[in-house]
Structure 1
Amino acid sequence: MAHVLNRVELLTSELVTNAYLHTKGPAPLRLTALGEGRLRVGVWDSHPYIPAPFARHPGDRVPPAPAGDLGGRGLFLVQELADSWGGWSLEDGLLDRGAGKLLWFEVGGKC
């Protein structure tokens, strides 16, 4: 999986940083090997809001942040660099983490 390591590190950092900056509480991380060189990274957090591009249909695109903005590029990077991504709202008590959401992305399988 060496061919996807840089993408995994960057995109994981973006999701964890967003969870840290925009939510209260824990932000568990889970890596799942899916086979055939694919890896899924998921981050749970305590806020139920699912941001774009995770809340949009796969064909919808999120525009890049304006050049002068200091933030707003992380989720755009997920859209551009991940092979697939998604998000789910979590009901109260699900997985003993309370209400919140799970955001995930997948990479790999392509060289």
Structure 2
Amino acid sequence: MGELRVRKIQEFIKQEVSRIILHELKDPGLGFVTVTDARITGDLREATVYVSLFGSDEEKANTLTALKKAGGYIRSEVGKHLGIRYSPQIAFKEDSSLDYGMKIDKMLQDIEKKD
């Protein structure tokens, strides 16, 4: 599969999942979510969507559970709009890079205050 096509499909999945979460999901367990990235296998059968979650640990767990429950619906909606033979199986994973970046930034600010 062409690398350019795979990258385009990854970007489309990222945008489409963001749109679905924002406008179509009505689960009360769903907290504040930002889709940060999407990765798809070369055969276009499995996709991993990375999400940044905000709130307490319990709220994050509830949000991730709500996303996993809605996975079938999200898969079918993405498949309708994607226009390829098979809809990829979508798995959600938490992206903690923002938390890590904020932690590093706080440490740098603390060091700067000491000097």
TM range (shorter): 0.3 to 0.5
Give 1 or 2 for the bigger CA radius of gyration: 2
Larger proportion of strand: 1
TM-score normalised to the size of structure 1?
A: 0.38
Higher relative contact order (CA 8 A, sep 6+): 1
TM-score normalised to the size of structure 2?
A: 0.38
Larger proportion of helix: 2
